[in-house]
Amino acid sequence: MEQPLVEFSDIYKIYTMGDTEIRALDGVSFSVHKGEFLAIIGQSGSGKSTCMNIIGCLDVPTSGTYLLNGTDVSTLSDNQLAEIRNEMLGFIFQQYNLLPKLNVLDNVKLPLMYRGLKDSEQTARAMEALDRVGLRDKCRHKPSQLSGGQQQRVSIARALAGSPSVILADEPTGALDSKTSREVMDFLAELNQNGNTIILITHDNSIAATAKRVIRVHDGKIIYDGPADGDDIIRSTVLSQKEKEAAI
């Protein structure tokens, strides 16, 4: 079998606040292969973001091994981690995390700039990514001049521009209305169809339904790992939604 892109073995993340110990991740193991569309779902505070930050090499586990493309991440230097974030990972955050002082184009160019590409190539690739999210004509705008949905599309373009191995999206629709949420999710599904590996984090069951595979976490533990329609809650959510639509 092909080597997994992401492989968690018995990962713990423990925060100690005074006397109390918070187990944000409590012995988590799973792997993600190339081309998957995985949703990590769970209630607020269940440890989803912690999980994604570790996958994204932004944070380190308290214990356990994380192999990214076969490499034990704990052996890597700060610079190597920065290179991995730059080349292998594309982040989409709930709060978009665009730099407000830079225009849309410069924001999308950032990862390419840190990669050390020539300016002309940065621009070409950034424009191509903006094209894919349909915001080519807004490239000179400041983020603040765009709607929430447009800003999130810019952040998707930024994640795409570097052609990463994995796209990590932490509640990408959390700040959007349901219509724009749908658009963003459809876009992510389309990206997955084109071969991109996507790990999506959400607390919203109807959003998670878009994914092919679902991992449900609760209090830092995995309680379900399997196809999206195999999860009871998601299935019932989807069914009730269909009924509602039928009623209208």
Partner 1 sequence: MNIGKTLKLAISSILSNKMRSFLTMLGIIIGVAAVIILVSIMDGVTGQVTDTFESIGMNNLSVMVTSRGSTRAIEPEDMYALLDEHSDTFSYISPNVTLNAVIKAPTETDSDTGSVTGVDETYDEIKRLTVEQGRFLQYVDVSKMLKVCVIGTYYEQEYYGRGKALGETIRINGQPYTIVGVFEEQADSAENSSDQCLYIPYTNASKMSWNTTISSYTAYVTNTDDIDKATSIIKQKATELLGSSDNVTVIATKEILDEVSSITDTLKMALVCIAGISLLVGGIGIMNIMLVSVTERTREIGIRKSLGAKKKHIMSQFVFEAGTVSGLGGILGIVAGIIFSTVAGKLLGLSVVASPGAIVVAFSVSVAIGVIFGFLPAKNAANLNPIDALRFE
Positions touching ligand ADP (CB under 6 A) are 15, 17, 22, 24, 42, 44-50
| 148-161 helix and 104-115 helix, angle to the nearest 10 degrees | 20
Answer yes or no whether residue 49 interacts with Mg ion by CB under 5 A. yes
Q: Among residues 49 and 86, whose Cβ is nearest to Mg ion?
A: 49
Helical spans, DSSP H, in the chain: 48-55, 78-87, 104-115, 119-132, 148-161, 178-193, 205-208, 232-247
How many Cβ atoms from other residues are within 10 Å of residue 202's Cβ?
26
Q: Is the dihedral of CA 103, 99, 143, 182 positive or negative?
A: positive
Q: Among residues 49 and 173, whose Cβ is nearest to Mg ion?
A: 49
Among Mg ion, ligand ADP, partner 1, none, residue 194 binds (CB under 5-8 Å by kind): none
Q: Select from 23, 34, 115, 182 the one that contacts partner 1 (CB under 8 A).
A: 115
Contacting partner 1 within 158-217 (CB under 8 A):
158, 162
Contacting partner 1 within 17-76 (CB under 8 A):
53, 56, 58-59
Sheet arrangement for strand 221-227: 89-92, 166-170, 197-202, 37-41, 213-218, 221-227
Of the ranges 111-119, 143-151, 178-186, 190-198, which one interacts with partner 1 (CB under 8 A)? 111-119
Looking at residue 195, what DSSP letter applies?
T
Q: Among residues 48 and 125, whose Cβ is nearest to ligand ADP?
A: 48
C-alpha separations of 50 from 9, 59, 126, 182, 215 in Å: 15, 8, 29, 25, 14
The site for partner 1, by CB under 8 A, has a size of: 25
Tokens at 74, concatenated: 């704990």
Answer yes or no whether residue 140 interacts with partner 1 by CB under 8 A. no
Q: Among residues 35 and 174, whose Cβ is nearest to ligand ADP?
A: 174
Q: Select from 18, 70, 116, 195 the one that contacts partner 1 (CB under 8 A).
A: 116
